[in-house]
């Protein structure tokens, strides 16, 4: 679809949101970014991105940011960002986004959801995405929700560069396969979803050609890097105990423990058939891990 109206990106200063901006600009789209009043937006402005000052907890500011926009992509996630407003961002903030989209007549709203979010009421930050989807349905907002698996870039570097350290840290069973995504791949799909031939209300799983266990990931990356990579797996019983004890004082820990418990069930697996229909060939686990390992090696041993 050809239009000069901008696409509003919510979360543009984050890792995923920044890559979404790159993808949109690369596709010739005009981009507007929702940026909190105290955040430095100079890097975005230098690239020709229009800045809309606002906050997800301020409905009027969201309506103003969306007015005159063609579409919205939100990558905002209070859980991963942290801070005292994390819960409110994932609940009130997402509801406000839906309400603003309804009021401003957005053509398409693209939500970054989470794989299996509709099956996990016991994992709060997963379930909040399901509730965000429900709110968009309730208000009749034309939307598409992409439901990605676990972010490879975050998981693989929890203990630093695994090529440098020779290890991956995991808080679940190292032998249970699950779905992963690469942030840059997801960003491309989110940008493409603005004009994709998808029905309103579609929820689309995003992942690789197959689920991968942490042990297999370590083996594949180790072979590519030419060195042994171990998996340091924290026993599930320890993770659950931490969630029960520390979770009384820090709900994020309880949330995280519940997430890793869900990973252990083996049901965190994407059905990528619709992904392939809309966005082309699904990335293979082997190729994605090979490319990612090469990038980590370049950081570990930079070229002179």
Q: What is the reported pLDDT for 246?
A: 55
pLDDT confidence tier of residue 77, bands split at 50, 70 and 90 = confident
In the chain, pLDDT over 90 holds for what percent of residues?
78
The answer to whether residue 164 scores a pLDDT higher than 70 is yes
Tokens read off for 133: 């989807």
The more confidently predicted of residues 246 and 126 is 126
For the question of whether the overall pTM of this predicted structure is more than 0.85, the answer is yes
> What residues are paired with 9 via a beta bridge?
33, 73
Reported as a single tens digit per residue, the pLDDT across 135-150 is 999 999 999 999 999 9
Q: How far is CA 35 from CA 8, 99, 128, 130, 184, in A?
A: 10, 18, 22, 25, 21
Q: What is the reported pLDDT for 268?
A: 98
Q: What is the reported pLDDT for 304?
A: 45
Is the separation of the CB atoms in 185 and 288 below 8 Å?
yes
Average model confidence (pLDDT) across the chain: 91
Q: What is the dihedral of CA 17, 206, 88, 242, to 10 degrees?
A: -110
Tokens read off for 128: 């909040």
- Mean pLDDT on 194-203: 97
d(C-alpha 221, C-alpha 114), whole Å: 25
d(C-alpha 68, C-alpha 59), whole Å: 16
Reported as a single tens digit per residue, the pLDDT across 10-33 is 999 999 999 999 999 999 999 999
The answer to whether residue 125 scores a pLDDT higher than 60 is yes
The answer to whether residue 237 scores a pLDDT higher than 70 is no
pLDDT confidence tier of residue 302, bands split at 50, 70 and 90 = low
Q: Tell me the DSSP string of 248-303.
A: GT-HHHHHHHHHHHHHTTT------HHHHHHHSSPPPHHHHHHHHHHHHHHHHS--
In the chain, pLDDT over 70 holds for what percent of residues?
90
Q: What is the reported pLDDT for 272?
A: 98
- Mean pLDDT on 61-81: 89
SS3 110: strand
Tokens read off for 63: 């309506």
Q: How far is CA 246 from CA 172, 249, 253, in A?
A: 18, 6, 7
User: Which contacts qualify for 92-97: CB closer than 8 Å, 24 or more apart?
Assistant: 92/56, 92/57, 93/56, 93/57, 94/56, 94/128, 94/129, 94/131, 94/132, 94/135, 95/132, 95/135, 96/56, 96/57, 96/58, 96/59, 96/62, 97/10, 97/56, 97/62, 97/72, 97/132
Phi then psi dihedrals of residue 199, to 5 deg: -80, 150
- Mean pLDDT on 177-195: 98
- Mean pLDDT on 88-93: 80
Q: What is the reported pLDDT for 273?
A: 98
Q: What is the reported pLDDT for 250?
A: 66
70-79, 92-101, 191-200: which has the minimum mean pLDDT? Answer: 70-79
């Amino acid at each position: 679809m050809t239009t000069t109206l901008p696409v509003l990106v919510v979360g543009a200063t984050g890792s995923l949101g920044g890559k979404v901006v790159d993808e949109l600009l690369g596709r010739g789209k005009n981009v507007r970014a929702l940026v909190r009043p105290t955040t430095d937006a100079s890097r975005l402005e230098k690239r020709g991105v229009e800045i809309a000052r606002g906050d997800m907890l301020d409905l009027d500011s969201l309506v103003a940011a969306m007015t005159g926009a063609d579409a919205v992509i939100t990558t905002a996630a209070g859980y991963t960002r942290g801070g005292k407003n994390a819960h409110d961002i994932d609940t009130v903030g997402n509801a406000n986004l839906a309400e603003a989209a309804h009021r401003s007549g957005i053509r398409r709203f693209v939500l970054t959801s989470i794989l299996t979010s509709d099956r996990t009421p016991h994992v709060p930050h997963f379930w909040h995405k399901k509730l965000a989807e429900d709110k968009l349905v309730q208000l009749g907002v034309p939307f598409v929700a992409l439901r990605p698996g676990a972010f490879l870039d975050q998981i693989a570097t929890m203990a630093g560069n695994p090529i440098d350290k020779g290890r991956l840290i995991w808080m679940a069973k190292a032998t249970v396969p699950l779905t992963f995504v690469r942030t840059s791949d997801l960003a491309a799909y989110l940008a493409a979803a603005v004009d994709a031939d998808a029905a309103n209300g579609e929820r689309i799983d995003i992942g690789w050609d197959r689920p991968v266990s942490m042990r297999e990931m370590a083996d594949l990356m180790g072979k590519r890097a030419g060195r042994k990579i171990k998996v340091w797996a924290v026993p599930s019983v320890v993770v659950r105990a931490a969630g029960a004890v520390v979770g009384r004082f820090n709900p994020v820990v309880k949330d995280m423990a519940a997430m890793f418990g869900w990973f252990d069930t083996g049901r965190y697996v994407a059905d990528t058939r619709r992904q392939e229909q809309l966005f082309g060939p699904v990335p293979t686990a082997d190729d994605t891990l090979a490319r990612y390992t090469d990038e980590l090696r370049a950081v570990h041993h930079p070229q002179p």
